[in-house]
Structure 1
Amino acid sequence: MYDTILVPTDGSDQATVAAAHAIDIATTRSAAIHVLSIVDDRAFLVLDDDRVDAVRADLRANARGAVDDLATDALGHDLEVETAIETGHPAERIVDYAADHGVDLIVMGTSGDEYETNVVGSVSQRVVRQAPTPVLTVGPDVDD
């Protein structure tokens, strides 16, 4: 049923907790893990042009670190792992990645950020509404 599991990560504690759930499911199902981090290009809208390249490089480095950390954890459980870093709107890129790679399950954290949820809508809410596959969200109060 779940042969390919997508784990979006931003390197946060909440993403790490969600990843532990994904690794547990993948281990039980002998599933492959896809680790994805998104460089949110909306951050560049308010920057002076001369700062964009430096900020983009920092965000990519942070994304690479988050992906590598999670991939290392999954490889430690003898799981097949694929990694990717993409640029764009996080919810859209996660949904597109899932569709493009035949993902069977998306496992992701929720931010628990009241402002984000009430005013702009969270990434996890958008993914749940738009994903072509089941989404397991792990809330901020869940321990691994």
Structure 2
Amino acid sequence: MKLPGFNTFLVPVNNSEAGRRAKRYAIALAKQCGAKVILFHAHGLISGRISPDGREQIIRKNLEEMGKIFAIFVDGCREAGVEFEIVVEQGATADAIITAASDHACDMIIMGTKGNASARKILGSLTDTVSKQSSVPVVVVGEECECSNSCGSSCLHKWRFAPAANLQHAC
């Protein structure tokens, strides 16, 4: 079922549990809406003090590590039958996420949060920054239920729709 107004979701990809929760939510919602998922990663700016060869090595190592993480996200999309695209940019993470959402005409940004409210109040967080500065709605995925792969009845109650089935190995 295609829902009007929900065609493309941007999902920032990193190697965190919060990112994996956001992935599971985004895939399930995209499957229900018939939307496409943009799997996005921004690797930060590298100091000008590092030689061009050194910067190249840092970027290459980062992309190799991210390739393994992207593979998990891609497997989840394929398993659920959700169209996806991988986008990697360089820049300050919050700015890059906001720009990518605009450049790819995303209807929504779906991000996870670590849930450490006291630290966020003092330091701020990437999710807070993106949600405050983005013109695109930002869905923040918090803690999940106790089931191991987010497909139990508690998730159905919390999310108001059934997460995509059979994503166990992609979680």
SS in structure 1 at match of 2:140: strand
Aligned residues: 141
1:99 pairs, out of 97, 102, 109, with 102
Matched with 1:58 is 61
What do the CA deviations read for 1:66-101 (whole angstroms, capped 9, x no partner)? 223212211111111111111111110000000111
Q: Which amino acid aligns with 2:43?
A: V
Matched with 1:142 is 144
Q: Which amino acid aligns with 2:26?
A: A
Matched with 2:24 is 20
Matched with 2:47 is 45
Q: Which amino acid aligns with 2:110?
A: V
The alignment's TM-score, normalised by the length of structure 2, stands at 0.73
Counterparts in 2 of 1:40 and 1:114: CA distance versus 1, 3 Å: farther
SS in structure 2 at match of 1:111: coil
Matched with 2:38 is 34
SS in structure 1 at match of 2:111: strand
CA shift at 1:47, angstroms? 7.2
For 1:85 and 1:15, locate their aligned partners in 2 and report how far apart those are by CA, in whole Å. Answer: 16
CA shift at 1:51, angstroms? 4.4
Q: Structure 2: state its 5+ residue gaps.
A: 151-171
Q: RMSD value over aligned CA atoms?
A: 2.2
The alignment's TM-score, normalised by the length of structure 1, stands at 0.85
Q: Structure 1: state its 5+ residue gaps.
A: none
Counterparts in 2 of 1:116 and 1:38: CA distance versus 1, 3 Å: farther
CA shift at 1:40, angstroms? 1.7
- Greater Rg, structure 1 or structure 2? 2
